[in-house]
Amino acid sequence: MATQQAPPRGTVRIEAPDNDRKDSYWVAPTAILATFAVFVIYSTIRAFMGKYYSTYYDGHSFAWMAANLRGASAIRPHYWSPFYSPYIPGYFPFLKALKIGSWPLSAALYVMVFPLAFRASCYFCRKTYYRAVFRDPEACAVKEKFARLNYTGETKLPARAVNLHRYTFYIAVILVIFHWYHLYNAFFYSQYGQTHFGVGLGTIIFLVDTVALTAYTFSCHSWRHLVGGVINRYSRAKSRFKVWSGVSKLNEYHGQFFWISLVTVLIADLYVFLVSSGRITDIRFF
């Protein structure tokens, strides 16, 4: 017979040699990693700082009132850093006495865990950090550098906790409400002990940030599921179908909103920091 013996059938695959991706697939995860690093370093510093989170309140008293007694002509815009929102010690004053050693506990530490949890369990964010940080995978069809033998995905703790994303969403909605509250305040400033309506650069920043954060929150996959993703027959739930369709449209841009809101929230906080620490003066439009 002229045929050769056929190779045995097995289950082990062969790496096709020299068929790696030729494009610069490593750029995106590297850039993301750098962005995350900047954000983490900045927010850690700011979270532990415990001051310069408001342009009109210093943690003990409303500074603008004191300023009013000192130099009444100064304009005090009503800006409040999103990192310190809501201001928990404001509702539970005994917390102000808490200290680590001689160091007063920063008010940011009470709240920052919530946006962090929301983002960490966000379906879009998970994709980015699994790719950029855990390299699991770094990019599509790329050999994993630290391929673990016993990959379990999101079936084991702690990764399994991301299934509770809906709860972090509920909290995020509360945070969004506070954002809008702070945005409302940002349309006012104080001078000579009087409160006036006005718009400064910070107001614009807050406006953009609040809209971005709202869009990010309400384009959430869990929210999409809760408003109507669970329904199988939409013709019997017409109003929920409308809401679901709207959220689905938004949801397509969830990733974009994630990045935009991440940057705007950082800028908002930075702006508050710069103004309240006196490094710059708020630019006023009227």
Partner 1 sequence: MEKVTLRVFRGDKTGGEMVTYEVPKVPGMVVLDAIHQIQKEQDTTLACRWNCKAAKCGSCSAEIDGKPRLMCKTSVDEFNGQPITVGPMRAFPLLRDLVTDVSWNFKMAAKIPPLQVLPEMEGKPFVLQQVDVDRVQEYRKCIECFLCQDVCHVIREHNRKDAFFGPRQMVRIAGLEMHPADRINRREQLKAEAGVGMCNITKCCTEVCPEHIRITDNAIIPLKERVADDYYDPVAGLLRSIGVLPREKKAPFNSVPNEQTKIAAQGTGKKGG
Partner 2 sequence: MESFETFEYDVLVIGSGGAGLRAVIAAREAGCTVGVVCKSLLGKAHTVMAEGGVAAALGNMTNPDGTKENDSWKVHFVDTMKGGAFLNNWRTVEIFTKEAPERVLELEQYGAVFDRTPEGLIAERPFGGHKYRRLNHVGDRTGLEIIRTLQDKAVGVGMTVHMETTCTRLLTENGRVTGAFGYYRDTGNYVVFKAKSVILATGGWGRMYKFTSNSWEGTGDGLMMAYEAGAELLDLEMIQFHPTGMIWPPGMRGILVTEGVRGEGGILRNSKGERFMFNPKYMPDLYKGQFAETEEEASRWLEDKQNNRRPPELLPRDVVARAIYREVQDGNGCEHGGVHLDVTHRGEAYIKRKLPSMYEQFHAMGGVDITKEPMEVYPTVHYTMGGLYVHPETCETSIPGLFAAGEVAAGLHGANRLGGNSLSDIIVFGKRAGEHAAAFAADHAFGAINDEQIAEEQDYLTEPLRASSGESPYVIHQELQETMQTNAMIAKTEQTLLTALTKIQELQQRAKNIKVAGDRYFNPGWHAARDVRFMLRTSEIIVRCALERQESRGAQWRLDYPNREDATWGKVNLIACKNGDEVKIVRRPLPEMPAELKALFEEGK
Return the one option of partner 2, partner 1, none that residue 242 interacts with (CB less than 5 to 8 A, by type): none
Residue 1 or 69: the one with the smaller Cβ distance to partner 1 is 1
Q: How many CA atoms lie within 13 A of 55 on its CB side?
A: 31
- Candidates 5-13, 82-90, 221-229, 278-286; binding stretch for partner 2 (CB under 8 A): 5-13
Decide the pairing of beta strands 194-197 and 188-191.
antiparallel
Q: Shortest distance, CB of residue 10 to partner 2, whole angstroms?
A: 13
54: which strand partners? 80
Residue 7 or 101: the one with the smaller Cβ distance to partner 2 is 7
Q: Which of 6, 16, 69, 149 binds partner 2 (CB under 8 A)?
A: 6
In single-letter form, the type of residue at position 166 comes to R
- Candidates 6-14, 128-136, 199-207, 271-279; binding stretch for partner 2 (CB under 8 A): 6-14
Return the one option of partner 1, partner 2, none that residue 130 interacts with (CB less than 5 to 8 A, by type): partner 1
Return the one option of partner 2, partner 1, none that residue 4 interacts with (CB less than 5 to 8 A, by type): partner 2
Can you tell me the distance from the alpha carbon of 213 to that of 122, in angstroms, rounded to the nearest whole number? 13
Q: Map residues 204-243 to x or -, x wherever contact with partner 2 holds by CB under 8 A.
A: -------------------------------x--------
- Site size toward partner 1, by CB under 8 A: 56
Return the one option of partner 2, partner 1, none that residue 179 interacts with (CB less than 5 to 8 A, by type): none
Q: Which of 3, 73, 102, 239 binds partner 2 (CB under 8 A)?
A: 3
- Candidates 2-10, 90-98, 182-190, 262-270; binding stretch for partner 2 (CB under 8 A): 2-10
Is 93 a residue that touches partner 2 (CB under 8 A)? no
Residues that bind partner 1 (CB under 8 A): 7-23, 123, 126-127, 130-131, 136-137, 140-144, 147-149, 151-155, 159-160, 163-166, 221-222, 224-225, 229-230, 232-235, 241, 251-252
